[in-house]
């Protein structure tokens, strides 16, 4: 029974971390749009006069999140969100792999 609770807990924590990892780029983008419109303009500007939209904007935002640009802004709230975004995926995979290991060793 205890193993089942730990197993389900690991899966739920992993799921929550994956959802966090998916949602935080939108929260970071919102903060950038509101607090740093000049930086946001650089992100959405495609160079052709049209603003990036949809998948193109998502790809540009992913590039920004993986670059040192967020740290260069030096905003504590955005940096905190960025750190949670960065490490939530690792925590999620660790939880899911631990759940798989628990399942594997419980059947042995």
3-state secondary structure of 58: helix
How many whole angstroms separate alpha carbon 4 and alpha carbon 64? Answer: 40
Count helices and strands in the chain by DSSP H and E runs: 5, 0
pTM score: 0.84
pLDDT of residue 28: 95
* pLDDT tens track for 76-89: 999 999 999 999 99
* pLDDT tens track for 11-38: 999 999 999 999 999 999 999 999 999 9
* pLDDT tens track for 48-85: 777 778 888 888 899 999 999 888 898 999 999 999 99
The burial of 88, by beta-carbon neighbours within 10 Å (0-12 exposed, 13-18 middle, 19 or more buried), is given as buried
Q: How many domains does the chain have?
A: 1
What domain range is 16 assigned to? Answer: 2-107
Q: Are 10 and 102 in contact (CB under 8 A)?
A: yes
How many whole angstroms separate alpha carbon 52 and alpha carbon 54? Answer: 7
């Amino acid at each position: 029974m205890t193993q089942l609770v730990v197993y389900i807990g690991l899966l739920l924590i992993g799921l929550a971390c994956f959802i966090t990892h998916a949602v935080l780029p939108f929260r970071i983008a919102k903060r950038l749009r509101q607090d740093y419109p000049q930086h946001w303009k650089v992100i959405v500007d495609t160079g052709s006069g049209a603003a990036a939209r949809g998948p193109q904007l998502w790809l540009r935002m992913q590039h920004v999140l993986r670059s040192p640009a967020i740290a260069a802004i030096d905003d504590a709230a955005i940096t905190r969100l960025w750190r949670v975004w960065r490490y939530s995926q690792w925590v999620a995979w660790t939880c899911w792999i631990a759940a798989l290991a628990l399942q594997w060793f419980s059947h042995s």
